[in-house]
Amino acid sequence: MGRTTNGSHLIMHHRFAPFVCFILLAACRTPREESAPPRLLPVGLTFDYSALEPGLEILQGSSAALGRLVTTPGAQYILRRQRKMTGHRPDPHRFFSSLFQRLRGRPGIVDGVRHNRIIATAAVSGSRRLVSEVLQYLPAEFRFTGSLYFTVGYDIGTALSPDASLNLAHPKFLANPREIPYYIMHELHHVGYMRYHPMPDLHNLGTARRLLGLIRYATHLEGMGVYTPWAERRRNGDLKDPDYRVLGDPALRKKKVEAFFRNLRRLEEMGDRALPGAEVGKILEEMSGTGRLWYIAGAHMAEAIAKDLGLPALRRLVIRGPDAFFKVYFATLGQETISLNASQPQRGKEDYGVLVDDGGRIVLPGPIVFADPLGKILTEPSRQVLRALVPFLRESLKTAGIEIDVHYTGPRGVSAALAPQLRYAACRRRGQTVRNFLMGLGLPGAALQVKEYGDTMPMVPHGVPGAHRRNDRVELRLVSRRP
């Protein structure tokens, strides 16, 4: 079952088109002997090799090993996953007999799998580092709890959260075992993503709208899967995989991304129109098969968001899901999204993952701090906070203005007569620094108004020790536009 192209994936047997491919895996246990119980690692993940030895014995001609194989946790996971994909649980003996029949006789497969087990063991022996790399691309509160089953012959990699499997007999790994650690990272991210957004219904893709929804989901899922190990691949010089070769070639990347969005626009225009099975198959082949469009376009979108708004914004979008992923990507380009109507800023609720209180004040994920006493230079963390807000602010400007409220209780050690003048001048400088930075990110200056409050609106009484640390602040507020 499955393809031999890049990326572990989930294959849906559509009644007309024989595939839909995703990359879905999980991760992290230690290798063990078949008779030993799996050992839970501090990272919250376990690795299970129980299906490997019986599988290798079957490849070597043992019929008795099939009975032992079907009782292993790895085989039971595969059967659960197959039931999810097809809607019915297959007969275990018949299913695995058919699976291994296709593998028997392949030259070097047994030795190759044994070698790949060594590679996989080495990769997961440093699971703390591996998991920490992946967690950089998942929401801060997420933790892994599942198992990664190393198997023989089933797809390249699959996921059914919180568990997953990786096929060490896949031709891709037999040809280049160095890919195994990157696929673990790739699939670990899928398991995290699926915690927030379970696999959609794959059995009914007969209309353009349903197919469009699946493509959006897969683009966010697979794009993040490709993006997650990209930095590690760069560090190690492992960029020969076809997806990364395309991403590294500006002309090829542009061509693929344009083709992806042409397909999406065409589906959007079709609305609820029924699609023949042949047309569904053709689109899916371009998106997931030989075209690899949703892998490449999704990684391109993830990179664009991370560069423009910062990695924290990209991580939060894992919670928000595919519609927000598309919306924020288009917002970074200053464009509207496909079939995503602009929502009005909601007071007291989240929009783009941003909370606005009942007074219109935007609840910032971190303080706005200046790197110099004059307030002319923002610290890099403050820049990241503001970058992450840009999609929300662009959308909000359709119906509201943005007020930059600056509060400053200094300077200290000057005369009472001079202090107010200096205080408001400092507020103006700080507010103008924030305004200029937001304008540099593409927001129109006419919609950004600076207000200086000096020390007139303290959060804590001025006499409290250290009060200035709370009272000196910059706030952003949504305000009604003047007629």
Summarize pLDDT for 465-483 with one digit per residue, the tens.
878 888 899 999 999 875 5
Q: b vs e for 197-215, b when ≥16 Cβ sit within 10 Å of the residue's Cβ? A: bebbebeebbbbbbbbbbb
Q: Could you tell me if 92 and 83 are in contact, meaning their C-beta atoms sit under 8 angstroms apart?
A: no
Give pLDDT, residue 19. Answer: 33
pLDDT digits (tens, 9 = 90+) for 276-285: 989 999 999 9
Exposure on the CB side of residue 232, measured as CA atoms within 13 A: 23
Please, are residues 189 and 182 in contact by the beta-carbon 8 Å criterion? no
Residues in the chain: 483
Q: What is the pLDDT of residue 43?
A: 58
Model pLDDT, residue 482? 58
What does the pLDDT read at residue 352?
A: 59
**pTM exceeds 0.95:** no
Distance separating alpha carbons of residues 51 and 64, to the nearest angstrom: 14
Mean pLDDT of the chain: 84
CA dist 54 and 50 (Å) reads: 8
At residue 444, the pLDDT reads 93
Give strand pairing partners of 163. Answer: 160
d(C-alpha 163, C-alpha 159), whole Å? 6
Going by C-alpha positions, the residue among 214, 222, 193, 248 that lies closest to residue 301 is 222
The helix/strand/coil state of 433 is helix
pLDDT digits (tens, 9 = 90+) for 165-200: 999 999 999 999 999 999 999 999 999 999 999 988
d(CA 479, CA 468): 26
Model pLDDT, residue 347: 43
Beta-sheet strand order (sheet of 157-160)? 46-48, 147-151, 163-167, 157-160
Three-state DSSP state, 119: helix
Q: Going from the first residue of the chain to its last (483 residues), give the mean pLDDT of each consecutive group of 10, the final group possibly shorter.
A: 37 35 32 37 76 95 94 95 86 95 90 96 82 90 91 91 93 96 93 93 85 96 97 95 96 97 94 92 93 97 88 89 90 52 40 71 86 91 90 88 93 79 91 94 92 90 82 92 60
- CB atoms near residue 128 (< 10 Å): 12
Task: Note the pLDDT of residue 21.
Answer: 34
What is the pLDDT at residue 343? 37
CATH class of 350-480: alpha beta
DSSP state of 478: E
Domain extents for the chain? Answer: 23-198, 199-339, 350-480
Contact predicate 34/53, CB 8 Å: yes
**Residue 2 · residue 268 · CB < 8 Å:** no
The confidence score (pLDDT) of residue 474 equals 95
Cβ partners under 8 Å of residue 60, min gap 6: 110
> Contact at 8 Å (CB) between 348 and 365?
no
> 143 and 44 in contact (C-beta within 8 Å)?
yes
Q: What is the distance of C-alpha 202 from the center of its chain?
A: 21
